[in-house]
Structure formats: C-alpha cells, structure tokens
Structure 1
Amino acid sequence: MKKGYWIVSYRSISDQSAVKAYGALAGPAIESLGGRLLTRSASQVQAHEAGLQQRTVVVEFDSFDTAVAAHESEAYQKALQALGSGAERDFRIIEGA
C-alpha cells in the first residue's frame, strides 16, 4: 500500500499565537492517527521557481486514505479552528510513489 503525505507550505503567518495554538492541537491529532512528522522547518528552506522561503511541513501516514481521514478528523478540525486566519497555507494531501 502506498503511503500518504501532507505537504504544507506556509505562504504567510499573520498571527503567531494562532499558529502556536494550532500546533498544540494538531500534533496530538496527527499522532493519534499514525502521522509521523518528517520535517517542520522555517530556517533551512531553499526555495526555487515560485517557491517561498517559509515554514514547510511534511507528515507521513501509512496510506493516502489515512492521511485524508486525519485531515477530516474532529481533533484536527479543532486545530484548524484554532489556526483560523492566522496563516495562509498551501496544504496538499498526496499519495506516495
């Protein structure tokens, strides 16, 4: 079975406290569904083409379906509510090769 991934690139952060509140809720929500944080970096990003040198997060799940279910879970939706409009992100769920 192919793995599933969350690829999240932050375009901008307007409310650091909202991002912090989101992180406090999102981490446990992701882990409870088997998600594994592969990277979360803002300092070591080398952007190319239209990319932005902003925080980038990659989370791995055992399957694409699990990655989708984690995003739709009640616990993760609460994390998104805490984030609100505190950041503009490009969030993608993709299937591994």
Structure 2
Amino acid sequence: MKAYWIAHVDVDDAEHYSQYTQRAPAAFAAFGAKFLARGGRSEALEGRATPQRSVVIEFESYEKAVACYHSAVYQEAKRYREEWARAEIVIVEGIAPL
C-alpha cells in the first residue's frame, strides 16, 4: 500500500532554506518518491493557521517512506532545514483503491 509524507513548513530564511531544497531531492529520488503537492495555494479551514508551505509526497510503501526519512541522505539535507525553517512531518499509510 502506498504511503505519504504530509509536511507543513514555515520558512524563516528562504535563501538558507534553499540549501535544504537543493539536497533533499536526492533522498526522494533514491526512494522513488513522487511529489503530489509542493507549495502552491492552501487554506486552513480548521486547526492552526495556514503554513507557508504544504507538501505531499507519495511513496510506494510505508516502509519506503520511513526509510527515506531515516536515510543518511535525507538526514544530511534535514540539517540545513532545521536551522532555517519549522516543519511538521507526518507519514501516513494510504488505503486500498476502491
């Protein structure tokens, strides 16, 4: 079953954050990830205020989604994000097609 990273990100320094966005795609490519949403318009209808960026990334399995996050390549990229942005990342397993 597919799985998804759902991330909400608030960027404090776009110039420095770009160091993350230059490095992270290597991890996603290594695990066959597919971006379904990245930035773009969004509106919070319930809960906290709309984050600056909402991202949805699809993986072939829950295990690949988790492995990508814990991979050395992603953890290296993450170091560049942590100082310049605040992120909430959830991995959620998809459902069987109806």
**TM-score scaled by length of structure 1:** 0.89
Match of 1:46 among 34, 43, 47: 43
The secondary structure found in structure 1 opposite 2:45 is coil
Q: How much does 1:13 deviate?
A: 1.6
Query: Over residues 49-73 of structure 1, what are the superposed CA-to-partner deviations in whole Å (9 max), with x where a residue is unaligned?
Result: 1243221000000000000000000
State the distance in 1 between where 2:30 and 2:45 align: 34
Q: How much does 1:85 deviate?
A: 1.9
Partner of 1:84: 82
Query: Over residues 19-58 of structure 1, what are the superposed CA-to-partner deviations in whole Å (9 max), with x where a residue is unaligned?
Result: 21101111121111111111101x4102111243221000
In structure 1, list runs of 5 or more residues that go unmatched: none
Using the aligned pairs only, state the percent identity.
33
In structure 2, list runs of 5 or more residues that go unmatched: none
Total equivalences in the alignment: 94
**TM-score scaled by length of structure 2:** 0.88
State the distance in 2 between where 1:60 and 1:51 align: 24
Partner of 2:25: 27
Q: How much does 1:84 deviate?
A: 2.5
State the distance in 1 between where 2:67 and 2:49 align: 28
Amino acid at match of 2:43: Q
The secondary structure found in structure 1 opposite 2:16 is helix
